[in-house]
């Protein structure tokens, strides 16, 4: 039975450390993926990397629309990302946020198309190409697995503003 796990927040070392490759495609991985979907939906997200629930493995799940507003749902294990070359690259200047930094958003230009190669939960090779919001999601979640948050791509001043706002929005201990 899938169980929503708590989301890990910025500042936890698991978010800033590159994740380990998955080497076993078994029931334990399938259960982790089920928990990841449950956790993502409970937090009202559209993507979630394993390290966001404290598991340092190269796995992410997603459920979000592409540029044509067609919904896509899936899991990618051990992803590698492929972005268009500079000549063919078009940037989407949209806002980005993260479940590990709740309530904080900032414009972050990213390529409007991305492809990830990896495996599904059974170990079969897969390729997922996304446009629009799905492209942003694929890039964002792959970044997580490299130990990078979206705020790491922002100018220093804006990054500090978001971190300060996040810190003050957390419940204070009594």
Q: Are 7 and 166 in contact (CB under 8 A)?
A: no
What pLDDT band is residue 170 in, cutting at 50, 70 and 90? low
Q: What is the mean pLDDT of residues 162-174?
A: 72
What local confidence, expressed as pLDDT, does residue 123 receive? 98
What pLDDT band is residue 92 in, cutting at 50, 70 and 90? very high
Tell me, yes or no, if the pTM score tops 0.75. yes
Cα separation, 65 vs 47, in Å, equals 11
What local confidence, expressed as pLDDT, does residue 166 receive? 87
Q: Which residues are catalytic?
A: 141
Scored b (16 or more CB within 10 A) or e, 71-107 reads ebebbbbbbebeeeeeeeeeebeeebbbbbbbebebe
pLDDT of 148-167, one tens digit each?
999 999 999 999 999 999 88
- Which two structure tokens, joined as six digits, stand for 59? 């796995």
């Amino acid at each position: 039975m899938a169980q929503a796990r708590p989301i890990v927040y910025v500042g936890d070392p698991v978010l800033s450390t590159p994740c380990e490759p998955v080497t076993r495609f078994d029931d334990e991985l399938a259960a982790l993926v089920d928990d990841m979907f449950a956790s993502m939906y409970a937090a009202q997200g559209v993507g979630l990397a394993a390290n966001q629930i404290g598991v340092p493995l190269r796995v992410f799940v997603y459920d979000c629309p592409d540029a044509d507003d067609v919904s896509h749902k899936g899991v990618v294990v051990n992803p590698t990302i492929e972005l268009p070359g500079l000549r063919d690259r078009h940037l989407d200047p949209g806002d980005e946020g993260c479940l590990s930094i709740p309530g904080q958003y900032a414009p972050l230009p990213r390529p409007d198309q991305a492809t990830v190669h990896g495996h599904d939960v059974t170990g079969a090779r897969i390729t997922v190409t996304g446009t629009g919001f799905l492209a942003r999601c694929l890039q964002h979640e792959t970044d997580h697995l490299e130990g990078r948050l979206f705020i790491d791509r922002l100018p220093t001043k804006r990054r500090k503003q978001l971190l300060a706002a996040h810190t003050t929005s957390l419940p204070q201990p009594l």
